[in-house]
Amino acid sequence: MPYICHMAYGSISIGDALRDYINKSRMKPRLTEVRIQQNWEQLMGKTIARYTQQIQLIDGKLIITSNVAPLKQELNYSKDKIIQLVNEMLGEVAVYEVIIK
């Protein structure tokens, strides 16, 4: 049974309180970036994940770095799909743009 905090306006679970705190904190963008990095292979497949050097999330821009020219071209053609997949995995709209480097 989850622990419930009693506040002036009702009850809230510890999980909900933590989620609310993280959503309002400066840590949220970094935690979102880590979730994307951890799920990248599942989202994009082993081959793309293997040749992706870096994934960053800065102000709603997902920056994907690769040294493989054909992969960069494929990722450029797939930007809308990448945005959709990542936002669906996160359960929120956190990525608005994809930049391939």
Q: Compare 8 and 41 and report the one with higher pLDDT.
A: 41
Q: How far is 24 from 92, CA to CA, in rounded Å?
A: 15
Name the residue with tokens 């933590």: 18
Q: What are the tens digits of pLDDT across the range 41-86?
A: 999 999 999 999 999 999 999 999 999 999 999 999 999 999 999 9
Distance CA 81, CA 74 (A): 11
Q: 11-39, pLDDT tens digit by residue?
A: 777 777 666 766 665 666 778 888 999 99
Average pLDDT, the chain: 84
pTM above 0.75, yes or no: no
Contacts 24+ apart (CB under 8 A), 89-98: 89/35, 89/36, 89/39, 89/42, 89/43, 90/32, 90/35, 90/36, 94/32, 94/57, 94/60, 95/36, 95/57, 95/60, 95/61, 95/62, 96/60, 96/61, 97/60, 97/61, 97/62, 98/61, 98/62, 98/64
Quick one: pLDDT at residue 27?
A: 62
Both structure tokens of 97: 């743009």
